[in-house]
């Protein structure tokens, strides 16, 4: 993520792990959290993404097999 708290993603998106609906693209996408929250920290896996926002809410997307 960038110093301004924005999050950029790209690559294969077969499980929604990039936070957009595009399956696969060489384009870079800016992911915006609801309410214009700022990304403070991230954790990523091969099929999921977790973002901790500036208001201490946790946002997740991707494959939900083990939820």
Which token pair is 43?
Answer: 């954790």
pTM of the model: 0.75
Domain ranges in the chain are 7-62
How high is the pLDDT of residue 40?
A: 93
Sign of the torsion angle spanned by Cα atoms 64, 44, 36, 27:
negative
The C-alpha atoms of residue 5 and residue 44 are separated, in whole angstroms, by 16
Q: What is the pLDDT of residues 5-63, one digit of tens each?
A: 788 887 787 877 877 776 666 788 888 888 989 999 999 888 888 999 999 999 988 88
The C-alpha atoms of residue 52 and residue 42 are separated, in whole angstroms, by 6
Tokens 């990523």 belong to 44
How high is the pLDDT of residue 64?
A: 80
The C-alpha atoms of residue 18 and residue 20 are separated, in whole angstroms, by 6
């Amino acid at each position: 993520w960038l110093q301004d708290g924005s999050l950029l993603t790209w690559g294969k998106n077969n499980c929604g792990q990039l936070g957009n609906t595009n399956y696969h693209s060489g384009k870079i996408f800016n992911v915006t959290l609801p309410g214009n929250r700022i990304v403070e920290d991230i954790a990523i896996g091969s099929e999921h993404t977790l973002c901790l926002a500036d208001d201490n809410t946790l946002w997740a997307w991707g494959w939900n097999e083990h939820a």
